[in-house]
Amino acid sequence: MPAMPRIARAQAYPTRPVRIVVGFAPGIAPDLIARLVGQALSERLGAPVVVENRPGAASNIGAALVAKAPPDGYTLLMAVSTNTINHTLYPNLGFDFLRDIAPVAGVARSVFMLVVNPAVPAATVPELIAYGKANPGKINLATPGVGSVPHVFGEMLKMMTGLDMQHVPYRGNMFPDLLSGQVQASFLTIMSSAAHIHDGSLRALGVTTAMRAPALPDVPTIGESVPGFEASGWYGFCAPRSTPAEIIEKLDKNIAAVLSDEQMKTRFASMGIEPMFMAAGEFAKFILDEAEKWGKVVKFAGIKPV
């Protein structure tokens, strides 16, 4: 009998709109994924699912809003890999991502590639490492900013190999400098770099994931030459801590059904995104592992927020 009110609450949920908070501006991957999944989830739940963009502070504004929201299932976070980087990078956030956020479901990931300007005399990751060690200060790694996903990918590669590579953060478009050779390397998503790889204006040395990417099967993984290297950009849904387990379970099951749809898989593929469903328990462990991994990299590299 004590369980009956909880069961009834989960069966009734949702009775009003559910909002997904995205800590980034409209039009980029986290926003697009939230809208795609949210629309399909709305149809399954029988209630509106709306996306609310709260960009700023490297997604911390949106995460803080969800961490402090009522734990009733009506406010969800589009969580991304950046959130686990920020957990160590920012010491005074006013909330604890691991403590105050309840994982709901993992959704998808973006595969990144280590690319170089063709002027760099390296066709493989080992050749780049050897070149960097023999020519200190010659390789500049372009990224979207301090603490960004490409930045920590680069720092992890340096940590694991001793590669000499200088970080060059950009606030704007870094492609002109990368294509002209003003900067020599970067970690880019397959979606953003495939055309440049195919026309020869950039050279792909390796993908960051544990398995080769179906879109570019001839490009080896970085892990093939640097054992243990594995990384990706990822996306998933979280809720405020103490959200009832019955509601999380209902969301979890419906998100799984949404991601199993072939049309959704096709839409993801068109964005260069791979479905990566993880149920709440698996997603919770994954987040803890990611936070530990990137915490070590942030501390090793001495990365400080700007």
Residues facing residue 203 across a β-bridge = 116
Class of CATH domain 112-224: alpha beta
CB 103 within 8 A of CB 277: no
**Which CATH code for domain 4-109+232-301?**
3.40.190.150
- Band of pLDDT at residue 57, cut at 50, 70 and 90: very high
The fraction of the chain above a pLDDT of 70, given in percent, is 97
Structure confidence at residue 197 as a pLDDT band (50, 70, 90): very high
Q: Over 70: is that where the pLDDT of 194 sits?
A: yes
H helical segments located in the chain: 4-12, 29-45, 60-67, 81-89, 97-100, 125-134, 149-161, 175-180, 190-199, 245-260, 262-270, 280-301
Residue entry with tokens 């299932």: 73
Q: Is 70 exceeded by the pLDDT of residue 251?
A: yes
> Hey, do 4-109+232-301 and 112-224 end up sharing a CATH topology, with the first three levels equal?
yes
- Identify the residue with better confidence: 260 or 270: 260
CA distance to 76, 104, 116, 245, 249, per residue, from 68 (Å) = 11, 16, 42, 18, 21
Q: What is the pTM of this model?
A: 0.93
| pLDDT tier, 73 (very low <50, low <70, confident <90, very high otherwise) | very high
Q: Is the pLDDT of residue 4 over 70?
A: no
* Residue 94 burial class via C-beta count within 10 angstroms: exposed 0-12, middle 13-18, buried 19 and up: exposed
Rounded average pLDDT over 233-244: 98
Tally of helices (H runs) and strands (E runs) in the chain:
12, 11
Q: Is the pLDDT of residue 149 over 90?
A: yes
Predicted confidence at residue 128, as pLDDT, reads 98
What is the structure's pLDDT at 9?
Answer: 57
Q: Left if phi > 0, otherwise alpha if psi is -120 to 50, otherwise beta: which for 94?
A: left
Tens of pLDDT, residues 14-46: 999 999 999 999 999 999 999 999 999 999 999
**Angle, CA 233 vertex, CA 118 and CA 113 arms, to 5°:** 15
3-state secondary structure of 113: strand
Q: How much is the pLDDT for 10?
A: 61
Domain boundaries, the chain: 4-109+232-301, 112-224
What pLDDT shows up at residue 6?
53
Confidence of residue 2 (pLDDT cuts 50, 70, 90): low
| Three-point CA angle 217, 219, 221, nearest 5° | 105
Residue 298 has pLDDT above 70, yes or no: yes
- What is the mean predicted confidence (pLDDT) over 159-181? 96
